[in-house]
Structure 1
Amino acid sequence: MKKEDTNITDHLIKLEDNLDLYLGQKAGIARTHNSLAYVKYLLGSNEEALTNLKKSVERTKDCYGDNCDERLIVTYGNFAWLHFHMKQYAECKSYLDKLKEIKEQKQPVSTFDVHPHVIGEKAWALFKFSRKYYNRAIECFRKALELEPERGEWNAGYAIVLCRIETKCTSPEDSSAIQQLRRAIETNPDNDELKLLLALKLAEFKLFDEAEDLVERALDKSPDSPYVIRYVGKYMRNYGQSVDRSIGLLKRALEVTPNSGFIHHQLALCYKKKKQEFCSLSDSQKFLQLCISHLEKAITLKSGFIFAMTDLAFLYGEDGQIERADEVFQTALSTAEDKTEDRQAVYLHYGGFQEYRKKCETMAVNYYMKCLKMAPDTRYGIKSAMNLRKIADKHLSKNVNDTWALGILEIIEQVKGGNQSTSENCVHLLESTCNEE
């Protein structure tokens, strides 16, 4: 895994937060210490890397007892690898000898050349390190499940990564994530995080009865787990009846993990919803400032948090801080780089900022078009097309022959119809209009 494929500082903070989030889950803590060791190595802190590997061994033995050599294959391999890079060849050889002993004691369990625990841990490592590695992680989880179909760890990891990448489904039956979450819960009946992920997915299809039952069961069983609290808070905000309850839960989670950018972002979204519920200027302003405060904290803790950045920029605009909002949007664009989903999100929100805060329709159209052109069938592409149609329809209601508005509608049809060369010419014409203005 390459350092340039992730924001290494943000990744380090996230892993350190995980040590608190996992609480009594020793297996998860052991895996996190392994990942921390690799990050420390990348940062040139070899002694700290060794310390984390030792802690990984301790947690694994605490969890599974002394007879857990197979679960230590990856950690022993990491020890050998790290000692080799530190030119400590005697220590390297001692760990290689341990691996040899384990291999001789355990006959291969399948035709695969790699041990199932190795391929499963590889899947988790890829998944945790970078979004760029999600497809590779999926491939590894599938291989691990071919070897050990009943193994809860591999079923859980596979379900979680499917949740991260799944975007467009017409029904719960079409959702691979929902099917795998159900399978993962069967093999991990005590994992309340999986129940909440399933609840959030079911709620997308308005299956609220089952979803709310899962939420209540998870919260009753794990009322102090930050992982559970943050997902319950998200569910309450999006689908529940009480934003105040969501805020209370998230504040509890923040007491355990004060450096979680995710929880600060969720709190900001809750206060944003509260702001929309109140009509008085003083209440609205109070909740606006709370939103801004938590979003500023979120992007400080997690510098590459694109969605928090776009939310913050938009709220800066609402607060009258137009120049500051522009700066954050530009930073978000440079941070998103070649990540299609992130860049689309920035284009969509920047278009809204241009339309509603700067009152510049042509620039708004420019950014909506950029978003649409990148990927018309994603949620951001679809939303951009809706915004573009709304602008065009407004002009056509005043003049049915408005060529600019008709041009916008033509581009939408051409982009969605796949006529790329023609649509690119039209987009260039619109962009030149925006630049002239």
Structure 2
Amino acid sequence: MGSDKEIHLKTKLLQLECHFTWALNKEDTDLTDLLNRLEEQIDFDLGKEAGIVRTYNSLGFVKFLLGSHDEALDNFQRSVKLTKEHHGEDCEKLLVVSYGNLAWLHYHMGAYEECESYLNKLKEIKEKQPLGKYPEMLGEKGWIYLKFSSTYYERAKECFRQALELEPEDGELNTGYAIALYRIDSSDKLYTPTDSPVIKQLRRAIDMNPDDDVLKVLLGLKLTVYKKYGEADSLVETALKNSPDHPHVMRYVGKFFRNQGSVDRAIALLNRALEIVPNSSFIHHQLALSYKTKKTHLLRAGSHHSKGAEIQRIHNQLIYHLEKATTLRPSFVLAMNELALQYGDNRETSKAEQLFQDTFIVAKEKNEAYQLVNFTYADFQLYSVKCEPLAIKQYKVALKMGPKTTVGQKCTWRLKMIAKRRIDRNREDGEAYGILGFMHKENREIHQAIECYEKALCYEDNEEYLSDLCELRLSLQ
């Protein structure tokens, strides 16, 4: 084929709506973990034709990214076959994404005639019914964004929002929108349970999909934030009764039990879920967090000496499940971060240090949980390494990333604790007052910050304090 013809084909391909044009960057996800999750999805979407068709399309794209072109072709063709089987002849617009994927795949395989054939099919569909942005395509786009990476959740939300403007009564689209809102929602303090957008959308999606037990558990989890425990318990127990062996239900119910203090019940449920999906990094991570909670309960109960062997057994389980989670998904930032901290607690400081450095790289590249990693590393320096100066430096770095976040508030508390402890030992500790000044400055508590910096400069000649003090005074003018 001549290069002019190839350029002409590529120009047409770039105008398509499919996985190849949706800016899905393989660097933003862990492809092996995504592959496992998509394969699980097929097993548990039996009876949900739209979900299976969608998953085969996504699976084909992941196979392509992994270099398995023949397997990619097989999955794309399965999506076409299933669509035709379930919708008959009146399914052309439902094939637009699949045909687009097939056109792109044949182009990459050098099968240019087949590529052109699919482009012609798409042209015929468009001539019969001008498509523009239609809800089925927007929905499929939203679902792959939800599945691919947390960095794409906002894009997913927007896709579902646009799709619902076109088809407001569609159950699948309402479900997708509810899940997208749930995953990105951090506005609990801004709303009541009656006007929370995510709670409203979850209720709407449940009304349209009364058999969707995952939605019920998500609503239960969200209601506990507002202390609506009675309704939350009822929703979760109903979901577990209706879907006792569905791993997605089990994993979220496990999280619910842990949050509510029923740690042993959470552990038992999640262990049973692992028997169904042994390669789930998410379930291994949830199990690890459950063991961490159980260990904390035992330590707080003062059982350290009488139950030393039990605590060590729980700690070993905690480490085991974190190592499994990070093995199954090597870029699992939250699991990596927690594992590094646990290595520190286990006095394996060099191992912890190396893992923290790896976690910093992954978190920064993925733009995921970077503030949390900085905070956790500060805790590691303070409690495991006993290096207070480096801990203070790291708490400051994390606090600057967002003082109003949950992590930011924890940084504020840690810095205040360190400063107060030092001042109790020495009322003339200029650096301690400087720490308080920085903490108040970042939290926009201007008058308190000025007062602390003035005290700091009484005991320590520091250009940074002076510069911050001048800046704060100017801000009041």
- Does TM, scored on the shorter chain, surpass 0.5? yes
Q: 1:255 aligns with which of 271, 275, 287?
A: 275
> In structure 2, how many angstroms separate the alpha carbons of the residues matched to 1:418 and 1:301?
44
Judge which range, 386-395 or 337-346, deviates more: 337-346
Which residue is equivalent to 2:50?
27
Which residue is equivalent to 1:433?
none
Taking structure 1 as reference, are residues 424 and 403 closer, same or farther at Cα in structure 2, changes over 3 Å only? closer
- Give runs of aligned pairs for residues 22-421 of structure 1, distance below 5 A: 22-61=45-84, 67-103=90-126, 107=129, 113-170=132-189, 171-173=192-194, 175-240=196-261, 242-278=262-298, 279=303, 280-337=307-364, 341-417=368-444
- The code of the aligned residue for 1:233 comes to G
Shift in Å, 1:340: 5.3
The superposition leaves residues 291-340 of structure 1 with CA deviations (integer Å, 9 ceiling, x where unpaired) of 00010000001111111112111111222212111111111111111555
> In structure 2, how many angstroms separate the alpha carbons of the residues matched to 1:160 and 1:372?
29
| Percent identity of paired positions between Structure 1 and Structure 2 | 50
Shift in Å, 1:248: 1.6
> In structure 1, how many angstroms separate the alpha carbons of the residues matched to 2:45 and 2:292?
29
CA contact (8 A) 1:336 1:343 kept: yes
Q: SS at the partner of 2:352?
A: helix
- The code of the aligned residue for 1:309 comes to M
CA contact (8 A) 1:411 1:427 kept: no
- The code of the aligned residue for 1:353 comes to F
Taking structure 1 as reference, are residues 309 and 375 closer, same or farther at Cα in structure 2, changes over 3 Å only? same
> In structure 1, how many angstroms separate the alpha carbons of the residues matched to 2:254 and 2:274?
12
- The code of the aligned residue for 2:344 comes to G
> In structure 1, how many angstroms separate the alpha carbons of the residues matched to 2:91 and 2:208?
20
> In structure 2, how many angstroms separate the alpha carbons of the residues matched to 1:59 and 1:251?
34
Shift in Å, 1:100: 4.6
Which residue is equivalent to 2:459?
none
- The code of the aligned residue for 2:50 comes to A
Instruction: Give the count of matched residue pairs.
Output: 423
The superposition leaves residues 34-82 of structure 1 with CA deviations (integer Å, 9 ceiling, x where unpaired) of 1111122223322111111122234445655665444333212222232
Q: SS at the partner of 2:188?
A: coil
Structure 1 portions without partners, runs of 5+:
430-437
- The code of the aligned residue for 1:115 comes to Y
Judge which range, 118-127 or 3-12, deviates more: 3-12
> In structure 2, how many angstroms separate the alpha carbons of the residues matched to 1:183 and 1:321?
49
> In structure 2, how many angstroms separate the alpha carbons of the residues matched to 1:62 and 1:286?
53
> In structure 1, how many angstroms separate the alpha carbons of the residues matched to 2:126 and 2:90?
15
- The code of the aligned residue for 1:185 comes to I
Shift in Å, 1:159: 1.3
Taking structure 1 as reference, are residues 209 and 356 closer, same or farther at Cα in structure 2, changes over 3 Å only? same
> In structure 1, how many angstroms separate the alpha carbons of the residues matched to 2:78 and 2:244?
27
Shift in Å, 1:97: 4.5
The answer to whether structure 1 residue 14 and structure 2 residue 37 are counterparts is yes
Shift in Å, 1:124: 1.7
Q: SS at the partner of 2:133?
A: coil
Taking structure 1 as reference, are residues 259 and 425 closer, same or farther at Cα in structure 2, changes over 3 Å only? farther
Q: SS at the partner of 2:53?
A: helix
CA contact (8 A) 1:20 1:256 kept: no
Q: SS at the partner of 1:224?
A: coil
The superposition leaves residues 263-290 of structure 1 with CA deviations (integer Å, 9 ceiling, x where unpaired) of 0011111112222333210000000000
CA contact (8 A) 1:21 1:257 kept: no
CA contact (8 A) 1:30 1:60 kept: yes
Shift in Å, 1:412: 0.9
> In structure 2, how many angstroms separate the alpha carbons of the residues matched to 1:267 and 1:53?
35
Taking structure 1 as reference, are residues 45 and 264 closer, same or farther at Cα in structure 2, changes over 3 Å only? same
The answer to whether structure 1 residue 5 and structure 2 residue 28 are counterparts is yes
RMSD of aligned Cα (Å): 2.7
Which residue is equivalent to 1:434?
none
User: TM-score, normalized by length of structure 2?
Assistant: 0.82
Structure 2 portions without partners, runs of 5+:
1-22, 454-461, 469-477
Taking structure 1 as reference, are residues 257 and 64 closer, same or farther at Cα in structure 2, changes over 3 Å only? farther
Taking structure 1 as reference, are residues 38 and 413 closer, same or farther at Cα in structure 2, changes over 3 Å only? same
Which residue is equivalent to 2:474?
none
> In structure 1, how many angstroms separate the alpha carbons of the residues matched to 2:464 and 2:220?
45
- The code of the aligned residue for 1:145 comes to L
CA contact (8 A) 1:372 1:385 kept: yes
> In structure 2, how many angstroms separate the alpha carbons of the residues matched to 1:147 and 1:139?
13
